[in-house]
Structure 1
Amino acid sequence: MIVERIEVYRLDVPLTDPFEISLGTKHEAENLLVRVETDSGTVGWGEAAPLEPITGETIDSAIETAKAGVSVLEGRDLRNRRSIVTDLEAALPGAVSARLALETALYDAYCRERDISLAECFGGSPGPIRTDLTVSIVDPDTAAAEAESALEAGFDELKVKVGGDVSADIERVAAVREVAPNAGVKVDANQGWQPKEAIQFAHEARTRGLDLTLLEQPVHRDDVRGLKRVTEAVRIPVAADEAVFTPTDAHRIAASGAADVINIKAAKSGLTDGAAIAEIARGANLEVMIGCMLESALGLHASAHLVAGLGGFSYVDLDGNLSFERNVADVTVGPTLETRGPGHGIVPDPSMVPDTPE
């Protein structure tokens, strides 16, 4: 299980519609792929979707950092994957996207060598994982139309992006709730509000009878006191997302009682630390959620295997590829991710991988 060759690729995929959140608008997925090959010829794949306002990385910087991390993996025995991940964290501090792509590829190669699923590395077995569908910051009519399409496609959980003008956000959520009265509806502010705005939104949503199941990261990630203020003031469960990148962050949120839920994203924490964060949350009696960036089926299925392996996730938001013009692999696109092995089960379509690595 010796790592013999590593290649880093750029993956650009246009989106069918612009994806707008409080931090900005994306028109295409700009991701990186990592291919790891062992001395036996086994190949593992990893992916990450850097988003500069969240991860601090551009696609170009993430690719260059991943290339710098190649030397950490070359010649290493994949059976020592935990120590390899530790060395990656030391060599590439803060480079969460670059590390994730490398880490996922080495986990995938390890599992394929062993002919097991990635879920088995985390104590479970693969199975179907249902996700919600996200409605971005659009006008109420568009939001309603997107929600109707989601229901027709079989989704029963929706997430609505908010974090701007509270009145406009309320109208967007109300439009979704009107056409989806029986669906679970979460909202995600992506750090867009001050505490008083988040509390105002929650109060108005309750007054309007919008029946929300989650309020995700309402305030800036560094404002833990503000997050705690919101959590204590509203009846909707509050999730910490951008506030938690590391197990240390999770411990701080748990110890301060700043949130009811922790959103674990491989894009922020990686797979190994993501599993550690889940255990910290459960030890503190907090619920856990899994989220995503604009990953393709490859990255999303890796996260779905983490869910299948650990179990106990109350909220699943793994819909990043649903607006891709083309998917990286031939998988069914819809509310259910069918996880299977070996590894994370996804091999990119050769036509989607550039002929030449970076």
Structure 2
Amino acid sequence: MKITEVRIGRISVPLRVPFKTALRRVDSVEDVIVEIHTDTGAVGYGEAPPTGVITGDTTGAIIGALKDHIIKTIIGRDVDDFEALTDSVQKCIIHNSSAKAAVDMALWDLYGQLYNIPVYKLLGGSKDKIVTDITISVNSPEEMARDAITAINRGYDTLKVKVGVNPKLDVERLSAIRNAIGARAKLRIDANQAWKPQEAVRILNQMQEQELDIELVEQPVIAHDIEGLKYVTERSYVPVLADESVFSPLDAMKIIQSGAADLINIKLMKCGGITPALKIADAASIMGVECMLGCMLEAKVSVNAAVHVACARSIITKIDLDGPVLCSEDPIIGGSIFDEKDIAVSKAPGLGIKGIEKITYLD
């Protein structure tokens, strides 16, 4: 199975409601699609969201990395030369993790098709269903409480609540949500790097003292402040999940070895795809540190790839793969089935994607 052509396209998928965090507001998913074609007729699909405020990857940067570096590295090569192929993708350009992730997952898709086996099975996974949380965007306490009730009525039992916009309101936001939903759901919070270390400890401990029962806090401080992250981890009543601080397996090892966080969040777009995600999960497993499998605002192609990883590694105990259910439509044919909180992995060969509607090709 030789790679004969790589096509680049774009999709635009509106969200049900605006997605708002301490870092940005998004109204639609605007992602880059990669199709890797082969001489057997098999096609591998990948996806990359432009998330410049987190990964530094803009649409133009993703397309440039693909055209100028990554595609040249893989064209004409045999999919069965898999380790060397995926290694070349990671080494042909520094950074640009989202572009690498799109191509890496498309290669895994082809490799599974080559051997007629789903990727999660190829990785040794036996679990075929997972349950995701759903994100509550940061707004006024009253609006967030209403959104939480809506999520509960849709069947969700774990809510990931965005905070960090006007930190003085954050305790009030969580109080409003907890009062509205009672004990019907777990609450996770995501500060998206918005707090200072001492501020984070004060806010988190205040939440727990008010019996808001917070399961974990995601990235309370700025990504590069590992000492600050450790400060919060050592003093907070709430377990700390490192997200933007972890872009690579090496980052994960440094966080784990220094005790800077209690848990690690793996995102394909941060680390560069399935291949490095597996390395992070396996390193965490050796150290006994549980992981979350998360996503950016992505459509189903890339989130589907993350589902296969989540089903393949037991150290991944928490799931934050709500991208497709935040969208108002699904242009992706095939792949995993997203039924609100319940996700059933595709059992078709590879990643199971059959095609994409409403795609605009760049060539």
- Map of 1:26 onto structure 2: 26
TM-score by length of structure 1 reads 0.96
- Map of 2:266 onto structure 1: 264
Distance 1:311 1:352, change over 3 A: farther
Distance 2:13 2:63 in 1: 16
Please, which runs of 5 or more residues in structure 2 have no aligned partner? none
Q: Tell me the secondary structure at the aligned position of residue 264 of structure 1.
A: strand
Q: Tell me the secondary structure at the aligned position of residue 349 of structure 2.
A: coil
Distance 1:30 1:137 in 2: 21
- Map of 2:342 onto structure 1: 336
Equivalent pair of 1:298/1:347 in contact (CA under 8 Å) = no
Structure 1 residues 211-250: aligned runs within 5 Å:
211-250=213-252
Correspondent of 2:312 among 309, 313, 338: 309
Equivalent pair of 1:126/1:305 in contact (CA under 8 Å) = no
- Map of 2:17 onto structure 1: 17
Structure 1 residues 199-214: aligned runs within 5 Å:
199-214=201-216
Equivalent pair of 1:29/1:295 in contact (CA under 8 Å) = yes
Instruction: Please say if 1:357 is aligned against 2:362.
Output: yes
Matched residues, number: 356
Please, which runs of 5 or more residues in structure 1 have no aligned partner? none
Instruction: Please say if 1:327 is aligned against 2:330.
Output: yes
Equivalent pair of 1:117/1:125 in contact (CA under 8 Å) = no
Q: Deviations over 1:180-214 (max 9, x none)?
A: 22311100111111101110111110121100101
Amino acid at match of 2:318: Y
- Map of 1:36 onto structure 2: 36
Distance 1:211 1:321, change over 3 A: same
Distance 2:184 2:339 in 1: 22
Amino acid at match of 2:176: A
Instruction: Please say if 1:59 is aligned against 2:59.
Output: yes
Q: Deviations over 1:278-298 (max 9, x none)?
A: 111122221111110011111
Equivalent pair of 2:281/2:315 in contact (CA under 8 Å) = no
Q: Deviations over 1:84-111 (max 9, x none)?
A: 1221121121001111111111111111
Distance 1:261 1:84 in 2: 31
TM-score by length of structure 2 reads 0.94
- Map of 2:151 onto structure 1: 150
Q: What's the C-alpha RMSD, in Å, of the aligned pairs? A: 1.4
Give 1:333 deviation, angstroms: 4.0
- Map of 1:130 onto structure 2: 131
Give 1:165 deviation, angstroms: 2.5
Equivalent pair of 2:264/2:290 in contact (CA under 8 Å) = yes
Equivalent pair of 1:31/1:48 in contact (CA under 8 Å) = yes
Equivalent pair of 1:339/1:345 in contact (CA under 8 Å) = no
Equivalent pair of 2:15/2:328 in contact (CA under 8 Å) = yes
- Map of 1:190 onto structure 2: 192
Give 1:113 deviation, angstroms: 2.2
Give 1:50 deviation, angstroms: 2.3
Instruction: Please say if 1:284 is aligned against 2:290.
Output: no
Q: Deviations over 1:46-67 (max 9, x none)?
A: 1121200111111121122122
| Identical-residue share of aligned pairs (%) | 36
Q: Tell me the secondary structure at the aligned position of residue 79 of structure 1.
A: coil
Q: Tell me the secondary structure at the aligned position of residue 237 of structure 2.
A: coil
Instruction: Please say if 1:82 is aligned against 2:89.
Output: no
Distance 1:133 1:216 in 2: 14
Structure 1 residues 111-126: aligned runs within 5 Å:
111-125=112-126
Give 1:332 deviation, angstroms: 4.1
Q: Deviations over 1:136-164 (max 9, x none)?
A: 11112221121111111111111001123
Q: Tell me the secondary structure at the aligned position of residue 22 of structure 1.
A: coil
Distance 2:339 2:96 in 1: 30
